[in-house]
Chains A and B, each alone.
Chain A
Amino acid sequence: MSALVAGATELAAGALPAVSGLLPRAVDSAGDPSTAEAVLFWVLAPIMVIAAFGLLFARKAVHAALCVILVMISLAFLYVTQGAVFLGVVQVVVYTGAIMMLFLFVLMLVGVSSADSLVETIRGQRWIGWLAGLGLLVVLAGVIGTATYPDPVGLGTANESTNPRGIAHLIFGQYVFAMEVVGALLVTAALGALVFTHRRRLTPRLGQRERADARVRAGQTLAPLPAPGVYAKHNAMDVPALDPYGRPITSSVPRVLRVRGQEADAAEYAARIDRVIAGKSAVERGALGYEEQHQTPPPQADPAGASVGAPQIGDAVAGVDASAPDSEEGK
């Protein structure tokens, strides 16, 4: 597809000699204007401007970030077409690939459904913002309007032994001191961030082993808790599993459902199982009335059965309630 695009720009270069005079003089690597680049500029420039406005007006932070990414990548295209290949690629690798990714990393945690609040936190800040923006616009218009655009020179010699080599000679030759200073500054900043966010550990580190020991000491369930539902019959989350004796295991239903009171009636399911065990056929059960159906007393969950999965051995351990609800880790 991109070959087609390039082919199209080639064609445009051939077919539009008259138009090329009207286009601004984009600069190719040799310092001469080229129509293909002008076309590329006029394709990318509106996209960039629209994306820049998107950054201003997007209600969701992630959308704003995406607009910035679009601007950055388009900018990289322009760099490349102007002979700054290295800069263009580094623009994508560093800014789009690393920095904006970190931004997005933070923004993502905000969630899809949240949008910016438009409440003014400082009185009149919107008007001040508009005024400052207008002022900037006036200044920029003044500067750009009075600027002159001389013919570019020297790009050919700068890129003589390929663009990355030219940059390397500049950075590690003429500007090596500035480069080192910036490097030292960045390292200092990174170290500073590390120092500021470092916290001394006040409590011993809790590893896998310590957690397991604590669970044993508290007398909690060691293995994963039983999954809810009765196989081949009901596998909904709110139906408690049955133990080998047909008694419902309360702890198999997620704690949240139990707290909300959304648990299915365990006794009812147990009674059904009892009826199946008793050998009554479906027809018989269908023929029975409601009261008769419920004649079978629901199995009385004995205290041991009620807290299945929570061994009572650890009761004696001081300070820990062994019959406390199972931890989330056990799930």
Chain B
Amino acid sequence: MHSVLAAGMATAAEGSTAADFSNDTWWIWLIKSVGILVFLLTSVLIAIWFERKVVARMQVRPGPNVHGPFGLLQSLADAMKLLFKEDMTVKAADKVVYIVAPLIAVFCSLLTFAVIPLGPTVNMFGVETPLQLTDFPVAVLYILACASVGVYGIVLGGWSSNSTYPLLGAVRSTAQVISYELAMGMSLVSVFILAGSMSTSEIVSSQTQLWWFLPLLPAFVIYIVSMVGETNRLPFDLPEAEGELVSGYMTEYSSMKFAWFFLAEYINMLNVSAVATTLFLGGWRAPFIPADSFLQQGYWPVLWFLAKLWALMFFFVWVRGSVLRFRYDQFMKLGWKVLIPASLVWLVLVAVVQGLRQFPQFADLELRTILFGIAGVVIVGVVISLLIPEKKPAPAATRPRVLDAFADGYPVPPLPGQVLPPSPRRARVTAGAPADETTTGADAPTDPKEVHGG
């Protein structure tokens, strides 16, 4: 798809992106496409091993360590196992859609890396060409488009299985992706505004001085949260929540078709990490090294790009190892009531600052003045909101000091500050067996003991 786009764009896009593809020939395209495919597939194998190993270390256990050095061949063994398993098609399934769904998921996930710049212009077998398959003025929108078509794989897979849990997983995933794509898109818009372009190579070249995650920290945070939601990873893995939905949309899939969904999920992780790297973390640029250094030229930057990519992958694994799954309503609340309003407000702020700087009558305004002005407005707003009296919460029902444990028909323990009435049995014990007093009743206080803690 992307090369067709490139072909169509050949004349219009010239000069509209920072990368210059005019020297590319068909065999350069071929090398780059095959290179991207190989890179993605091997990265997935490594990512699975990496995830299992890191999660294992976080849980104080060794993780895979049998096959190959450090268990490196474990994911290869798993892939082989999946390949040779019996490929079952559910009898009641909608056959065509059932088979097409995993294909859609994988193909769409493979498309994103076409517009990700892995490095600057390099000399590839005598041809000067950027280390990027293609680029055009709306490259980032193209990434969003690929992601939104990729969801069809999940949705159709869940529907065509003709089974309850997959359908529930698919419905959840639809709602999830639609709501988180909004926040994601809006957090990206502030990068477009500052960089003045939607082409990936231009966004990278606009970050020579300053990586965008610093001035656009709120947008970066929103992007990071929504990228986890977009890839269906913990703590947002509701479409395939094992405890509730068996395995979600892929419950009825087996063998290679299951492996394709798995592949798509991991490639999507790589994709969103690569987008975060490109848009917020300076792309292939290394920090603190001058732009004319040899470390910022040729094939070296691929190393910095990969380092950033895998740092984000580590973040994914880290989050998975430490956070619990959200409940569905909490998840939706976070998306619609926190992320989207926050990204909208942030977008307006960025637009106002950038707009003021572009108007000729405000040209002499310092950026610092504008920022101080906005900070002043925000502080005044906060002060006013503090002055507005809060709605008093309904007074909590005053708890009686002595708890009637059976009031609701079932024995409950006393809450902090409450005491149990003196046990009727204790009186009997002390009366009936005074000899036991040394063991049971001697240090028992005469007044009911207060319960501390929960």
A positions within 8 Å CB-CB of B: 1-7, 9-10, 28-30, 36-37, 40, 60, 62-63, 66, 69, 73, 76-77, 80-83, 85-86, 89-90, 92-93, 96-98, 101-102, 104-105, 108-109, 111-113, 159, 161-165, 213, 216-217, 219, 222, 311, 313-314, 316-317
Contact = CB atoms under 8 A, between A and B. Distances in A.
A76 B138 CA distance: 13
Interface in B172-194: 174-175, 177-178, 181
A6 B177 CA distance: 31
B4 A216 contact: no
A43 to B, nearest CB: 10
B7 A316 contact: no
Nearest to B175: A105
Interface SS of chain B: helix
A31 B7 CA distance: 15
A161 B152 CA distance: 34
B175 to A, nearest CB: 8
Given A108-B167, A112-B94, A317-B409, A93 B145 contact: yes
- Which has the most chain B C-beta neighbours within 10 Å: A1, A97, A98, A109? A97
A58 to B, nearest CB: 11
B409 A90 contact: no
B427 interface: no
Contacts of A165: 137
A97 B12 contact: no
A317 B170 CA distance: 43
Contact of B162 (A73, A101, A112): A112
Given A2-B4, A83-B8, A93-B145, A314 B410 contact: yes
Contact of B159 (A92, A96, A108, A317): A108
B358 to A, nearest CB: 13
A112 B7 contact: no
A57 to B, nearest CB: 15
A42 to B, nearest CB: 14
B357 interface: no
Contacts of B7: 6, 9-10, 36, 81
A318 B88 CA distance: 54
B160 A112 contact: yes
Interface stretch (B26-34, B72-80, B287-295, B418-426): B26-34
Interface in B118-137: 133, 136-137
List 5 A-B pairs, minimum CB-CB distance, nearest first: A97-B148, A6-B3, A29-B12, A81-B8, A92-B145
A80 B162 contact: no
A105 B26 CA distance: 41
B159 A102 contact: no
Interface SS of chain A: helix
Interface residues of B, number: 57
Contacts of B92: 112-113
Contacts of B6: 6
B12 A30 contact: yes
B174 A105 contact: yes
Contact of B4 (A6, A93, A105): A6
A77 B4 contact: yes
A108 B170 contact: yes
A265 B369 CA distance: 83
B141 A2 contact: no
A89 B159 contact: no
Contact of B155 (A96, A101, A222): A101
Contact of B151 (A6, A36, A97, A161): A97
Interface in B1-34: 1-13, 16, 26, 29-30, 32-33
A89 B145 contact: yes
A28 B4 contact: no
Nearest to A44: B4
Given A80-B9, A108-B170, 16 more contacts: A1-B33, A3-B133, A36-B7, A63-B97, A81-B4, A101-B177, A104-B155, A105-B155, A108-B158, A111-B162, A113-B162, A164-B137, A164-B198, A216-B412, A219-B410, A313-B410
